[in-house]
Structure 1
Protein backbone atom coordinates (compact mmCIF):
# COMPACT_ATOMS: atom_id res chain seq x y z
CA UNK A 1 0.00 0.00 0.00
CA UNK A 2 1.38 3.41 -0.95
CA UNK A 3 0.75 6.36 1.36
CA UNK A 4 1.53 9.98 0.64
CA UNK A 5 1.49 13.00 2.89
CA UNK A 6 2.72 16.59 2.87
CA UNK A 7 5.42 17.46 5.37
CA UNK A 8 7.27 20.80 5.54
CA UNK A 9 6.58 21.58 1.92
CA UNK A 10 7.88 18.28 0.59
CA UNK A 11 6.05 15.20 -0.57
CA UNK A 12 6.85 12.12 1.45
CA UNK A 13 6.05 8.76 -0.12
CA UNK A 14 6.17 5.71 2.09
CA UNK A 15 5.57 2.04 1.46
CA UNK A 16 5.85 -0.27 4.41
CA UNK A 17 8.81 0.87 6.48
CA UNK A 18 10.76 2.77 3.80
CA UNK A 19 10.33 6.47 3.20
CA UNK A 20 11.41 8.56 0.24
CA UNK A 21 11.66 12.30 0.46
CA UNK A 22 11.33 14.30 -2.73
CA UNK A 23 12.93 17.38 -1.18
CA UNK A 24 16.66 17.62 -1.89
CA UNK A 25 17.42 19.58 1.30
CA UNK A 26 16.35 16.81 3.67
CA UNK A 27 19.08 14.64 5.17
CA UNK A 28 21.80 16.93 3.88
CA UNK A 29 23.90 18.22 6.77
CA UNK A 30 25.55 21.59 6.36
CA UNK A 31 28.76 21.37 4.36
CA UNK A 32 31.71 23.51 3.35
CA UNK A 33 30.53 26.34 1.10
CA UNK A 34 27.08 26.62 2.74
CA UNK A 35 25.95 29.85 4.41
CA UNK A 36 25.09 29.81 8.11
CA UNK A 37 21.30 30.01 8.41
CA UNK A 38 19.67 33.13 9.78
CA UNK A 39 18.25 31.59 12.96
CA UNK A 40 17.89 33.25 16.35
CA UNK A 41 19.36 31.61 19.43
CA UNK A 42 19.30 32.85 23.01
CA UNK A 43 22.17 33.97 25.21
CA UNK A 44 21.82 34.18 29.01
CA UNK A 45 18.03 34.71 28.97
CA UNK A 46 15.06 34.46 26.58
CA UNK A 47 15.09 38.22 25.91
CA UNK A 48 18.65 38.22 24.54
CA UNK A 49 18.31 36.86 21.01
CA UNK A 50 21.33 36.33 18.78
CA UNK A 51 20.93 35.86 15.03
CA UNK A 52 23.59 33.41 13.88
CA UNK A 53 24.01 34.86 10.38
CA UNK A 54 24.40 38.38 11.78
CA UNK A 55 26.75 37.25 14.55
CA UNK A 56 29.12 35.54 12.11
CA UNK A 57 29.10 38.14 9.33
CA UNK A 58 32.60 39.47 8.75
CA UNK A 59 34.20 37.12 11.29
CA UNK A 60 36.15 33.91 11.39
CA UNK A 61 34.44 31.71 13.95
CA UNK A 62 34.33 28.24 15.40
CA UNK A 63 30.95 26.81 16.31
CA UNK A 64 30.84 23.59 18.25
CA UNK A 65 27.64 21.82 19.15
CA UNK A 66 26.96 19.31 21.86
CA UNK A 67 24.05 17.00 22.73
CA UNK A 68 23.47 18.61 26.12
CA UNK A 69 24.82 20.94 28.77
CA UNK A 70 26.06 19.28 31.95
CA UNK A 71 26.19 15.85 30.28
CA UNK A 72 29.38 13.85 31.03
CA UNK A 73 31.27 14.06 27.71
CA UNK A 74 30.22 17.65 27.13
CA UNK A 75 31.21 18.78 30.64
CA UNK A 76 34.36 16.73 31.18
CA UNK A 77 35.91 17.07 27.73
CA UNK A 78 34.20 19.11 25.05
CA UNK A 79 33.49 22.54 26.59
CA UNK A 80 36.54 22.52 28.88
CA UNK A 81 38.79 21.86 25.88
CA UNK A 82 37.53 24.93 24.03
CA UNK A 83 37.86 27.07 27.16
CA UNK A 84 41.44 25.85 27.77
CA UNK A 85 42.46 26.17 24.10
CA UNK A 86 40.80 29.56 23.57
CA UNK A 87 44.08 31.51 23.29
CA UNK A 88 45.52 28.96 20.83
CA UNK A 89 42.35 29.16 18.73
CA UNK A 90 42.44 32.99 18.75
CA UNK A 91 46.09 32.84 17.71
CA UNK A 92 44.95 31.00 14.55
CA UNK A 93 42.90 34.04 13.52
CA UNK A 94 39.55 33.03 14.99
CA UNK A 95 37.47 35.97 16.21
CA UNK A 96 34.71 34.07 17.96
CA UNK A 97 34.08 30.67 19.57
CA UNK A 98 30.44 29.62 20.00
CA UNK A 99 28.91 26.65 21.78
CA UNK A 100 25.40 25.60 20.70
CA UNK A 101 23.13 23.12 22.46
CA UNK A 102 19.44 22.29 22.48
CA UNK A 103 18.95 23.60 26.02
CA UNK A 104 17.36 26.67 27.56
CA UNK A 105 19.41 29.88 27.93
CA UNK A 106 19.52 29.67 31.74
CA UNK A 107 21.08 26.19 31.61
CA UNK A 108 23.58 27.28 28.95
CA UNK A 109 24.54 30.34 31.01
CA UNK A 110 25.00 28.29 34.19
CA UNK A 111 27.00 25.68 32.32
CA UNK A 112 29.29 28.34 30.88
CA UNK A 113 29.78 29.88 34.33
CA UNK A 114 30.59 26.47 35.82
CA UNK A 115 33.40 26.05 33.27
CA UNK A 116 34.82 29.58 33.13
CA UNK A 117 33.61 30.21 29.57
CA UNK A 118 32.88 33.93 30.09
CA UNK A 119 34.89 36.09 27.70
CA UNK A 120 35.97 33.01 25.75
CA UNK A 121 33.09 30.87 24.54
CA UNK A 122 29.64 32.30 23.75
CA UNK A 123 27.06 29.91 25.17
CA UNK A 124 24.02 29.94 22.86
CA UNK A 125 20.78 28.09 23.54
CA UNK A 126 18.95 26.53 20.62
CA UNK A 127 15.84 26.04 22.75
CA UNK A 128 13.57 24.70 20.00
CA UNK A 129 16.34 23.06 17.99
CA UNK A 130 15.72 25.42 15.06
CA UNK A 131 19.39 26.01 14.28
CA UNK A 132 20.13 22.31 14.75
CA UNK A 133 17.36 21.44 12.29
CA UNK A 134 18.45 24.15 9.83
CA UNK A 135 21.95 22.64 9.64
CA UNK A 136 20.45 19.11 9.65
CA UNK A 137 22.39 17.94 12.69
CA UNK A 138 19.55 16.71 14.89
CA UNK A 139 19.24 13.23 16.35
CA UNK A 140 16.59 11.54 18.45
CA UNK A 141 17.79 11.52 22.08
CA UNK A 142 14.34 11.25 23.65
CA UNK A 143 15.17 8.06 25.53
CA UNK A 144 18.13 9.65 27.34
CA UNK A 145 17.78 13.45 27.14
CA UNK A 146 14.01 13.82 26.68
CA UNK A 147 13.93 15.42 23.23
CA UNK A 148 15.65 15.74 19.87
CA UNK A 149 19.19 17.04 20.39
CA UNK A 150 22.18 18.13 18.36
CA UNK A 151 24.81 15.81 17.02
CA UNK A 152 28.30 16.62 18.21
CA UNK A 153 30.19 18.63 15.59
CA UNK A 154 32.42 21.63 14.99
CA UNK A 155 32.25 24.16 12.16
CA UNK A 156 34.76 26.72 11.00
CA UNK A 157 32.90 29.70 9.54
CA UNK A 158 34.45 32.55 7.59
CA UNK A 159 32.27 35.61 6.96
CA UNK A 160 29.10 33.56 7.37
CA UNK A 161 30.19 30.71 5.09
CA UNK A 162 31.19 27.28 6.40
CA UNK A 163 34.77 26.36 5.46
CA UNK A 164 35.07 23.16 7.54
CA UNK A 165 32.71 20.62 9.06
CA UNK A 166 33.95 18.19 11.69
CA UNK A 167 31.02 15.85 12.40
CA UNK A 168 31.59 13.01 14.82
CA UNK A 169 31.22 9.75 12.86
CA UNK A 170 28.52 8.48 15.24
CA UNK A 171 27.14 11.96 15.98
CA UNK A 172 28.02 11.78 19.67
CA UNK A 173 31.65 10.66 20.05
CA UNK A 174 34.58 12.77 21.17
CA UNK A 175 37.17 12.81 18.39
CA UNK A 176 37.20 15.23 15.44
CA UNK A 177 34.99 17.93 17.00
CA UNK A 178 37.23 18.50 20.02
CA UNK A 179 39.29 21.69 20.26
CA UNK A 180 42.65 19.93 19.94
CA UNK A 181 41.54 18.17 16.74
CA UNK A 182 40.12 21.36 15.28
CA UNK A 183 43.25 23.34 16.14
CA UNK A 184 45.36 21.19 13.85
CA UNK A 185 43.11 22.04 10.89
CA UNK A 186 42.85 25.82 11.43
Structure 2
Protein backbone atom coordinates (compact mmCIF):
# COMPACT_ATOMS: atom_id res chain seq x y z
CA UNK A 1 0.00 0.00 0.00
CA UNK A 2 2.83 2.35 0.92
CA UNK A 3 4.50 1.66 -2.42
CA UNK A 4 1.36 2.68 -4.27
CA UNK A 5 1.10 5.92 -2.26
CA UNK A 6 4.77 6.76 -2.92
CA UNK A 7 4.28 6.00 -6.62
CA UNK A 8 1.29 8.35 -6.82
CA UNK A 9 3.20 11.12 -5.01
CA UNK A 10 6.15 10.74 -7.39
CA UNK A 11 3.93 10.88 -10.48
CA UNK A 12 2.18 13.98 -9.14
CA UNK A 13 5.51 15.69 -8.43
CA UNK A 14 6.93 14.93 -11.85
CA UNK A 15 3.71 16.18 -13.45
CA UNK A 16 3.98 19.47 -11.58
CA UNK A 17 7.55 19.97 -12.87
CA UNK A 18 6.72 19.24 -16.50
CA UNK A 19 6.86 22.22 -18.84
CA UNK A 20 4.35 22.57 -21.63
CA UNK A 21 5.83 24.21 -24.72
CA UNK A 22 3.49 26.12 -26.99
CA UNK A 23 4.50 26.94 -30.54
CA UNK A 24 3.11 30.26 -31.68
CA UNK A 25 3.17 30.95 -35.39
CA UNK A 26 4.04 34.58 -36.08
CA UNK A 27 2.28 35.96 -39.11
CA UNK A 28 4.12 38.75 -40.86
CA UNK A 29 1.95 41.83 -41.18
CA UNK A 30 1.04 42.69 -44.75
CA UNK A 31 2.53 46.05 -45.81
CA UNK A 32 -0.05 48.81 -46.03
CA UNK A 33 0.24 51.18 -49.01
CA UNK A 34 0.49 54.90 -48.24
CA UNK A 35 -2.86 56.63 -48.14
CA UNK A 36 -3.92 58.40 -51.30
CA UNK A 37 -1.43 56.67 -53.64
CA UNK A 38 -2.49 54.07 -56.21
CA UNK A 39 0.13 51.44 -57.04
CA UNK A 40 0.32 49.28 -60.15
CA UNK A 41 2.01 45.88 -59.93
CA UNK A 42 4.61 45.49 -62.70
CA UNK A 43 6.07 42.06 -63.37
CA UNK A 44 9.43 40.98 -64.81
CA UNK A 45 11.08 44.36 -65.18
CA UNK A 46 14.87 44.46 -64.87
CA UNK A 47 15.91 42.49 -61.78
CA UNK A 48 12.41 42.61 -60.34
CA UNK A 49 10.00 39.70 -60.49
CA UNK A 50 7.38 42.18 -59.35
CA UNK A 51 7.43 45.76 -58.17
CA UNK A 52 4.69 48.15 -57.07
CA UNK A 53 4.82 51.40 -59.07
CA UNK A 54 3.07 54.54 -57.73
CA UNK A 55 1.44 55.75 -60.91
CA UNK A 56 -1.45 57.78 -59.50
CA UNK A 57 -2.49 59.90 -56.53
CA UNK A 58 -0.95 62.39 -54.10
CA UNK A 59 1.30 64.01 -56.72
CA UNK A 60 2.36 60.81 -58.53
CA UNK A 61 1.90 60.01 -62.19
CA UNK A 62 3.62 58.55 -65.24
CA UNK A 63 6.62 60.22 -66.82
CA UNK A 64 5.98 61.55 -70.32
CA UNK A 65 8.32 59.09 -72.05
CA UNK A 66 10.13 55.86 -71.30
CA UNK A 67 12.12 53.16 -73.05
CA UNK A 68 11.63 50.53 -70.35
CA UNK A 69 10.19 47.18 -71.40
CA UNK A 70 9.32 44.15 -69.31
CA UNK A 71 9.72 40.57 -70.52
CA UNK A 72 6.33 40.68 -72.20
CA UNK A 73 7.44 43.61 -74.36
CA UNK A 74 5.14 46.07 -72.58
CA UNK A 75 6.33 49.66 -72.29
CA UNK A 76 6.65 50.57 -68.63
CA UNK A 77 6.62 54.31 -68.04
CA UNK A 78 8.85 55.84 -65.39
CA UNK A 79 7.39 57.40 -62.26
CA UNK A 80 6.76 61.14 -61.87
CA UNK A 81 6.32 63.01 -58.61
CA UNK A 82 5.18 66.62 -58.88
CA UNK A 83 7.03 67.16 -62.15
CA UNK A 84 10.25 65.35 -61.21
CA UNK A 85 11.27 61.89 -62.36
CA UNK A 86 11.54 59.02 -59.89
CA UNK A 87 14.08 56.34 -60.76
CA UNK A 88 14.17 52.62 -60.04
CA UNK A 89 17.56 51.19 -60.97
CA UNK A 90 18.66 47.58 -60.91
CA UNK A 91 22.16 46.11 -61.00
CA UNK A 92 22.65 46.64 -64.75
CA UNK A 93 21.76 50.31 -64.60
CA UNK A 94 23.77 50.70 -61.40
CA UNK A 95 26.80 49.30 -63.19
CA UNK A 96 26.45 51.96 -65.87
CA UNK A 97 26.16 54.76 -63.30
CA UNK A 98 28.91 53.58 -60.96
CA UNK A 99 31.46 51.98 -63.27
CA UNK A 100 34.39 52.84 -60.98
CA UNK A 101 32.96 51.00 -57.96
CA UNK A 102 34.18 47.42 -57.81
CA UNK A 103 32.11 46.18 -54.87
CA UNK A 104 28.56 47.30 -55.61
CA UNK A 105 27.14 45.05 -52.91
CA UNK A 106 28.31 47.47 -50.19
CA UNK A 107 25.73 50.22 -49.71
CA UNK A 108 28.42 52.53 -48.31
CA UNK A 109 30.53 52.17 -51.46
CA UNK A 110 27.52 52.95 -53.61
CA UNK A 111 26.75 55.94 -51.39
CA UNK A 112 30.21 57.40 -52.01
CA UNK A 113 29.79 56.83 -55.74
CA UNK A 114 26.39 58.51 -55.65
CA UNK A 115 27.80 61.53 -53.80
CA UNK A 116 30.66 61.91 -56.28
CA UNK A 117 28.35 62.52 -59.24
CA UNK A 118 28.74 65.98 -60.82
CA UNK A 119 25.71 67.96 -59.72
CA UNK A 120 25.47 66.34 -56.28
CA UNK A 121 29.13 66.87 -55.50
CA UNK A 122 28.62 70.52 -56.51
CA UNK A 123 25.75 70.85 -54.02
CA UNK A 124 27.76 69.18 -51.28
CA UNK A 125 30.40 71.90 -51.56
CA UNK A 126 27.82 74.57 -50.62
CA UNK A 127 27.67 76.05 -47.12
CA UNK A 128 23.89 75.85 -46.77
CA UNK A 129 23.44 72.25 -47.93
CA UNK A 130 21.65 69.75 -45.69
CA UNK A 131 22.94 66.17 -45.71
CA UNK A 132 21.42 63.15 -43.99
CA UNK A 133 22.72 59.59 -44.34
CA UNK A 134 21.29 56.79 -42.24
CA UNK A 135 20.89 53.03 -42.15
CA UNK A 136 17.26 51.89 -42.10
CA UNK A 137 15.85 48.36 -41.98
CA UNK A 138 13.07 47.78 -44.50
CA UNK A 139 11.69 44.34 -45.27
CA UNK A 140 14.53 42.73 -43.36
CA UNK A 141 17.21 44.52 -45.39
CA UNK A 142 19.59 47.17 -44.08
CA UNK A 143 19.25 49.99 -46.60
CA UNK A 144 20.98 53.35 -46.86
CA UNK A 145 18.74 56.41 -46.85
CA UNK A 146 20.23 59.47 -48.54
CA UNK A 147 18.76 62.96 -48.27
CA UNK A 148 20.43 66.10 -49.61
CA UNK A 149 18.71 69.47 -49.95
CA UNK A 150 19.91 72.87 -51.08
CA UNK A 151 18.08 76.15 -50.65
CA UNK A 152 18.23 78.03 -53.94
CA UNK A 153 16.19 81.08 -52.91
CA UNK A 154 13.16 82.05 -50.84
CA UNK A 155 10.81 80.13 -53.13
CA UNK A 156 12.82 77.07 -54.20
CA UNK A 157 14.58 74.12 -52.57
CA UNK A 158 16.38 71.47 -54.57
CA UNK A 159 16.51 67.99 -53.07
CA UNK A 160 17.55 64.40 -53.72
CA UNK A 161 16.11 61.47 -51.78
CA UNK A 162 17.47 57.98 -52.37
CA UNK A 163 17.31 54.50 -50.91
CA UNK A 164 20.19 52.14 -51.65
CA UNK A 165 19.00 48.55 -51.23
CA UNK A 166 21.34 45.53 -51.03
CA UNK A 167 20.45 42.50 -53.12
CA UNK A 168 22.73 39.46 -53.32
CA UNK A 169 26.08 40.65 -54.70
CA UNK A 170 24.89 44.04 -55.87
CA UNK A 171 22.46 46.84 -55.01
CA UNK A 172 19.37 48.51 -56.42
CA UNK A 173 18.28 52.11 -55.95
CA UNK A 174 15.00 53.94 -55.56
CA UNK A 175 15.43 57.71 -55.82
CA UNK A 176 14.24 61.12 -56.93
CA UNK A 177 16.95 63.38 -58.31
CA UNK A 178 17.27 67.18 -58.43
CA UNK A 179 13.63 67.61 -57.48
CA UNK A 180 12.30 71.07 -56.67
CA UNK A 181 9.77 72.25 -54.13
CA UNK A 182 9.04 75.25 -51.97
CA UNK A 183 10.80 75.48 -48.59
CA UNK A 184 7.39 75.29 -46.93
CA UNK A 185 6.54 72.00 -48.69
CA UNK A 186 9.93 70.26 -48.48
CA UNK A 187 9.22 68.33 -45.29
CA UNK A 188 5.80 67.15 -46.51
CA UNK A 189 7.10 66.09 -49.94
CA UNK A 190 9.94 64.10 -48.39
CA UNK A 191 7.53 62.41 -45.98
CA UNK A 192 5.31 61.30 -48.88
CA UNK A 193 8.31 59.93 -50.80
CA UNK A 194 9.72 58.19 -47.72
CA UNK A 195 6.47 56.31 -47.24
CA UNK A 196 6.20 55.38 -50.93
CA UNK A 197 9.81 54.21 -51.21
CA UNK A 198 9.50 52.18 -48.01
CA UNK A 199 6.38 50.45 -49.35
CA UNK A 200 8.02 49.73 -52.72
CA UNK A 201 11.12 48.25 -51.05
CA UNK A 202 9.10 46.19 -48.60
CA UNK A 203 6.90 44.67 -51.33
CA UNK A 204 9.44 44.23 -54.15
CA UNK A 205 10.17 40.68 -55.27
CA UNK A 206 13.50 39.98 -56.95
CA UNK A 207 14.17 37.48 -59.65
CA UNK A 208 16.29 34.51 -58.73
CA UNK A 209 19.97 34.98 -59.49
CA UNK A 210 21.19 32.80 -62.38
Asked if TM exceeds 0.5, the reply is: no
Please tell me the TM-score bracket, short chain as reference.
under 0.3
Asked which structure has the greater CA Rg, the reply is 2
Higher-RCO chain (CA-CA 8 Å, sequence separation at least 6): 1
TM-score by length of 2: 0.24
TM-score by length of 1: 0.27
